[in-house]
Amino acid sequence: MFAISLGDDLGDDRAELRPLEVWQAEEFLAHMDRARELVDPWIPFASAAGDLDSARALLQRYADKQAADTGRLYGIWLDGTLVGGVLFRIFDAASGNCEIGVWREPAAQGRGLITRAAERLIDWAVYGRGMHRVEWVASAANTRSIAVAKRLGMTRDGVLRQNYLYRGVRHDSEIWSVLAPEWRARTGGELRR
C-alpha cells in the first residue's frame, strides 16, 4: 500500500494520505463516529456509515468504483489515526471530468490537511490521468468547504438553487472548478510529491 506525506507545508510529517479500503471498515466506522457531527449537516456520508455493515458497504461501493475507474476513496491519517478523507465522487476519464469531495473530524481541523490532500488528488487527476475539469460541489451554507475550494484556486461556476434535499431541507449547491491549464499554471506545470 502506498502512503503520501501531507506534511510538507506545515512541517507535520506525521500526516499521510492512503487508500481507504474495505478491510478498514472498523477503523472507518470509529472515525465516522468522531466525524459525524461535522459531516452530517452537509452530506449523508457519515450517516451512510452508521454501523459496521453499512461502513463496509460504503467502502465496498468505492472499491467497486475504483475497479470500474469511476471513483476512488482515500483516508487521511494523523499520527496513525484516521481523521479525514478525500474522494473522487465522480471520475469520468472519457469526458475528462471528475468531482472531488472531502470530509474530516475535529482532530483534522485547522491543520491544512484537507487542502493538501485535495491538492494531491487534483495533481493525480490532471498530471496522472489527463483530466481536464475537476469540480467541487458544496452547500452554499458550508463556508468551510467553499473556503477550501478558494484555497485550491477554483473558480465559482454558479449556484444550483435549492437542488439538494437533505434532512427535509432544500440547499443551494455551489459549483466550483479548476481546469487543467489553470492547475498547471498554478503548480508550475509539475506534479508535487
> Over its length of 193 residues, how does the chain's per-residue pLDDT go in tens digits?
577 878 754 455 589 999 999 999 999 999 999 999 988 888 888 888 999 999 999 999 999 999 999 999 999 999 999 999 999 999 999 999 999 999 999 988 888 999 999 999 999 999 999 999 999 999 999 999 999 999 999 999 999 999 988 888 899 999 999 999 999 999 987 766 5
pLDDT confidence of residue 45: 82
Q: Residue 145 carries which DSSP code? A: H
Amino acid at 124: W
Report the alpha-carbon distance of residue 48 to residue 69 in Å, rounded: 22
Report the alpha-carbon distance of residue 154 to residue 158 in Å, rounded: 12
Q: Look at residues 185, 184, 71 and name the one whose alpha carbon lies nearest to residue 123.
A: 184
pLDDT tens digits along 61-114: 999 999 999 999 999 999 999 999 999 999 999 999 999 999 999 988 888 999
pLDDT confidence of residue 189: 79
Report the alpha-carbon distance of residue 5 to residue 38 in Å, rounded: 24
H or E stretch at 100: strand 97-104
Strands 97-104 and 133-139, sheet pairing: parallel
pLDDT confidence of residue 1: 58
Note the pTM of the prediction, 2 decimals: 0.91
pLDDT confidence of residue 9: 47
Report the alpha-carbon distance of residue 37 to residue 89 in Å, rounded: 21
Note the residue count of the chain. Answer: 193
- Sole residue written with cell 472507518: 28
Report the alpha-carbon distance of residue 185 to residue 180 in Å, rounded: 9
Write down the mean pLDDT value for the chain: 92
pLDDT confidence of residue 6: 84
